Amino acid sequence: MTSTTTTAPGFGVQAPPLPLAALLALALAGFVTILTEALPAGLLPQISAGLGVSEAMAGQLVTVYAAGSLAAAIPLTAATQGMRRRPLLQAAIAGFVVANTLTALSGSYALTMAARFLAGVSAGLLWALVAGYAARMVPPSQKGRAIAIAMLGAPLALSLGVPAGTFLGNLMGWRMGFGVMSGLALALMAWVRIKVPDFAGQATGKRLPLRRVFTMAGVRPVLFAVLAFVLAHNILYTYIAPFLAAAGLAERTDLALLLFGAASLLGIWIIGVLVDRRLRTLTLACTALFGLAALALAAASDMPAVAYAAIAAWGLAFGGAPTLFQTALAKTAGDAADVAQSMLVTSWNVAIAGGGIVGGILLDWQGVAAFPPALLALLAATLAVVWADRHHGFAASRD
């Protein structure tokens, strides 16, 4: 694939075309990662029957995947700083080939859980690599756009891949679904070898210890913003079904999620076009828009049209958030981008787990009515941190 040459903003010179084939390979890697993570959720009855366990135990296939990501992202990324990037990326993808093949063939619950943990480890490493890899392929003026393209796979997997994978699993058996994922990952390894450029790892003298990266100016504000923003998202997303049921929309959860997914894709496109020139402004705008959506949802108990509009606004705000946060961290951390991104992966996974825990506590405490105030508190904190950090992570000079 080719891309037309564009003019770099503010310079009046021609920027080189984006390496679309390589960036789309990274996007497909994200697609495989998210689909591998989420596929069991749509096939729990079949998996539980196939492995001879309860649906609750089958659901732990998702939990152990997240545990693998949390355990591996930071230490594995730090330990592999000196490795060449393309072989490392291929090794992470190979982890999905092995894990999904074992899952497709295994008749043992313990072996399947081990395979899922391996998939999570591979995911932790892969997500730590993607943003920094995309940024290294292009000049500084195109970093945000490159990261936006590389991140397309995640929302596509959630909005299209998971339903398609569930349909395939129901039609041909859940093992076939994981077999297809293994074949897709194997083909991706060849694509990466042919189209993705290789980069050297960091020289020993240039590697920064984890503490030094964590204390770099701007890194902690970005990580806090990720934690608070994504926690707010996952409180609502994890418990969207009971929230909609309270609004009398229990039968339209599928429509609401489709609307959210479509709006997310639009959000990614908007962010991809503007992120290199308006990172700070867009981050503030997305946070504020999510807050307005939370306010609207609080008032939408008997107004379906308002609820749908709020869900669309929420999707629009969330869709480009990964690109915004990863671009901010890539520009802030510089040569230590991969290590910083591994911290972002960890923060993101903590927020996912926290969304289930905090949302469950709120649901038992006061019901879904407690969600909007909690979301607003988290988003207000995000807004305050982004607003205050105008010189480093969310620098005003980038607008």
- Could you read off the pLDDT of 13-40 as tens digits, one per residue? 466 788 999 999 999 999 999 889 878 8
> In terms of pLDDT, which residue wins out, 151 or 204?
151
CA 311 to chain centre: 19
pLDDT over 90 percentage in the chain: 34
Q: Assign 7 a pLDDT band (cuts: 50, 70, 90).
A: very low
pLDDT digits (tens, 9 = 90+) for 305-340: 888 899 999 999 998 898 899 888 888 887 777 788
Closest CA to 331 of 126, 44, 86, 139: 139
pLDDT at 60 over 50: yes
Rounded CA separation 158/153 (Å): 9
**Mean pLDDT (whole number) for 208-228:** 87
Looking at residue 192, its pLDDT comes to: 95
Q: Assign 204 a pLDDT band (cuts: 50, 70, 90).
A: low
Q: Assign 397 a pLDDT band (cuts: 50, 70, 90).
A: low
State the first-to-last Cα distance of the chain, in angstroms, to the nearest integer: 30
**Mean pLDDT (whole number) for 174-197:** 94
**Mean pLDDT (whole number) for 211-219:** 84
For 203, phi then psi, to 5°, come to: -65, 150
Structural contact between residues 68 and 121, judged by C-beta atoms closer than 8 angstroms:
yes
Q: Does residue 360 sit in helix, strand or coil? A: helix
**Residue labelled with tokens 């802030």:** 332
pLDDT digits (tens, 9 = 90+) for 86-116: 999 999 999 999 999 999 999 999 999 999 9
CATH (residue range 210-398):
1.20.1250.20
> In terms of pLDDT, which residue wins out, 13 or 375?
375
Q: Assign 11 a pLDDT band (cuts: 50, 70, 90).
A: very low
Closest CA to 158 of 241, 21, 42, 309: 42
**Mean pLDDT (whole number) for 340-351:** 85
Looking at residue 15, its pLDDT comes to: 64
Identical fold between 17-205 and 210-398: yes
Looking at residue 304, its pLDDT comes to: 82
Structural contact between residues 265 and 155, judged by C-beta atoms closer than 8 angstroms:
yes
pLDDT at 223 over 80: yes
Note the helical H segments in 43-199.
44-51, 55-79, 85-105, 109-136, 143-150, 153-156, 162-172, 174-195
Structural contact between residues 55 and 45, judged by C-beta atoms closer than 8 angstroms:
yes
Q: Does residue 208 sit in helix, strand or coil? A: coil
CATH (residue range 17-205):
1.20.1250.20
Rounded CA separation 92/122 (Å): 5
Q: For the chain, which residues make up each domain, given as ranges? A: 17-205, 210-398
pLDDT digits (tens, 9 = 90+) for 232-271: 998 888 787 777 877 777 677 778 877 888 898 899 889 8
Rounded CA separation 362/349 (Å): 20
Q: How would DSSP label each residue in 3-41?
A: ---EEPTTT-SEEPPP-HHHHHHHHHHHHHHHHHHHHHH
Six-digit token string for 130: 């993607």
For residue 323, count other CB atoms closer than 10 A to its CB.
Answer: 27
pLDDT at 42 over 80: no
Looking at residue 205, its pLDDT comes to: 62
Q: What is the mean pLDDT of the chain?
A: 85
Highest mean pLDDT among 11-15, 67-71, 113-117: 113-117
pLDDT over 70 percentage in the chain: 93
The overall pTM is greater than 0.85: no
pLDDT at 386 over 60: yes
